[in-house]
Structure 1
């Protein structure tokens, strides 16, 4: 008989404790099969474990609930491995008293001081952490017998969630009615938790037999069926109601939508914004709606209102007036609820509404020929060619930096015009420039016109030389007197003739001193012949075409016998023509075919171009 030793190696993890094994020989030709199977049991020993001994030594004895109660915890390790964990102390109602961290090596004893509020009942401290040997004494306790508060939840025995249904971001309020059935005053609070998220209410104090509501509110951060753990908390009373759980169905966050459907420009109301709002939510939601204009980061909100949104879309419009901007905006802000990253903002481009003020000073005066120092009326037309009403404005007439007149105008609607007349004292000067000025929205608009002062016109008719005629008549009378004397005294005629001749010479000499002789000058514009005094130097104006030009006095000549007085030549017939630029009426000779310059607007034109 041969004997063979077999060694079996396995990588299986064997559990601690008794293990049953079985070995079978296979693939053999053996007449006796009874000894081909072998069964036996082995025991798997535990790993090296610490062996702990926990003791609790009281440091004081409280006489009232809530007083500090101190103990010295002593933890000894006489096992085969080190240990690290916590020692937690709690009361019989499940409320916590104290907790401390311990690390104990083999053959070492560690002490720690713990303290917490005292209650009536038993305080139990236990080691919590890695596995210890079964021989360990890891629990210690101490008891107090004092009068204390005892709290229980009434009206259903558990807190109730309020203010639902809920979406993510909404706030839930947990409410419980708690009664003190103990023999002493005490404080109590309510705590709810979702995993590591814990929310605790403020503590309330209840005397024996008193009851009150305790509540805690918090926001909901995740959707679905969420299980919340709740419990009462008291440092100076016993908790008769055990902790429990409550499940909340929380919907996804609400979705807010907004759009600008249209922006119209009304002649009376200005820009009108048509908006559309909606919300996807399990409940109705309040929002603040603001409508304005401007640019990103610098919006001007013209209107604000509070609206209640539900499952149905809400539409409306806002009147912004005439807006000088290129964009409008609608901002929707949730009230006491959350939407994404904050308020919702939508924008739309628009055509700016601006007033365009145009100014025209008419080149016409009343009277037509103004004279310095006299009241003269000027006409100004102010129009608005823009898309918005103008602001009230002031129109001023200015000449050489001096304000001649001013008038205040009301707002002018788009497309309208205002014609106003202003009376001024006509300024001194031969050529007057006047500006009509208006400042609207810090923009200055000017219209200019130039006017010529009235100049005395030269006479074109014949002036009778009354002084010369008088002297001639006087000389004639003298001659008649001499002739009569000569007839009465014929004898002395020979001697008297020289004297008579001398007298006649004197009279003739006297009659030779007459008025200044007139000379003829031609109008440079229409060739009209004018007669002006020969010693006149200055400006004259043609009575037909009203052209203004200068003449110089004629050079003085030696006295000579006065020519016989000539009758003035008959003036040719005149006709009226109109200036093609300003329609000013001018009178020119009917046979005139030259060019004429308008004295009002200075436009030169031929008779063929006249109106």
Structure 2
């Protein structure tokens, strides 16, 4: 048949086959598309499908919120699909474009879970946000998106102030502190207490955690008996940010009470059983503070009771309560007496404590004995010195007296003196010592005494040249030496020996037991 029809028939047959082949090919492609579509639908049914489980809006916790506070936005999401899926809540600030994302939450088919994200605003006022649920490879219902706004309040202010303190033996140091929190939410605060001594470093003493409600709160803080002269407190927020203008610290200077002198014990022992006069002797002194307060720094002295001379002295630092400290002191030359009476004094600016000690001693034998009582001889010599000094003072006072300008030794009547004064011519001169202007008789020639500075000088006759100020005559001065101090201890003006003269008995005439010089002990 192909041959009979020739080439033209062959072409027809081929065309028909091509059409049939094309139809067959198109039919196959349509069935393949249906299979692909069925496969796609089956795969879609295997994905997670998220929708809201209750309300279609997010819930906000943490309100009312202040600037810097963290709020939590949350929504309940259900998975109506056939596979597990992961949902994540995204929140975007519509004003600054900053996004906040929570932790991804995996939700199994047929279950619901809460998905949440934190929000923190750095601006106060009404702030608007846009939110949506995000999930990779899962279907998310259009209801899981929207917008909301929150009202953000200004930052809260805190302050602290140490108003006063009381330090007593029974309760120790008690601080009265005032704390303040501005209106808004209740806040957790940490109160730290530090102490320092003599401008040294701060030492952390205590800390308190306080749940502070808005308003002012007074607080008493008990610190016991610390070794301190200043207290520093700091109020710190716990996981929130206060207003930068907050004053969250305060400092208070405190004065600790001094230890009771009756509770400061002194014990003293001598290294030798019977010390010999003139030899060096070591003494051990134990100091114990039995009070609840620290003893102040001061001095430890060993004083000879007979003449109050200081035999040894040492500087003592503060001693803490209940502490005992030992010191070794050396008396370079033991006193010359069979029984030596000593007074051991522990003193400071505020208080003092002392004990007396009687020591049996050996007197050095020099090979001969005096045929008279040494104490009587010393008393007689002292009396003689006093008489000689008194006579010398009287003689000097009378010999340096300014000559009288009157011609007669008989005192004139008041009227005669007034008439004589009116007729006497005077002149003015300058005192060469203090430059005080003085009025003297015009014809006076000789010594004159200035009533201002009590100095005596020579006055020449009118017309003669007086001696220059560089040639000042010797002034009449007080012949009794003086020594001044502000406490019980002073130095001899003759030999610089340290002596003890009670300040409440001054002014008093004293005598140095070393150089035997008598002087006047004054305050100052």
Which structure shows the higher helix fraction? Answer: 2
* Higher RCO structure, 1 or 2 (CA under 8 Å, sep 6+): 2
Which structure shows the higher strand fraction? Answer: 1
- Please identify the structure whose Cα radius of gyration is greater: 1
Shorter-chain TM-score category? 0.3 to 0.5
Q: When the two structures are superposed, what TM-score results if normalisation uses the length of structure 1?
A: 0.41
Q: When the two structures are superposed, what TM-score results if normalisation uses the length of structure 2?
A: 0.47
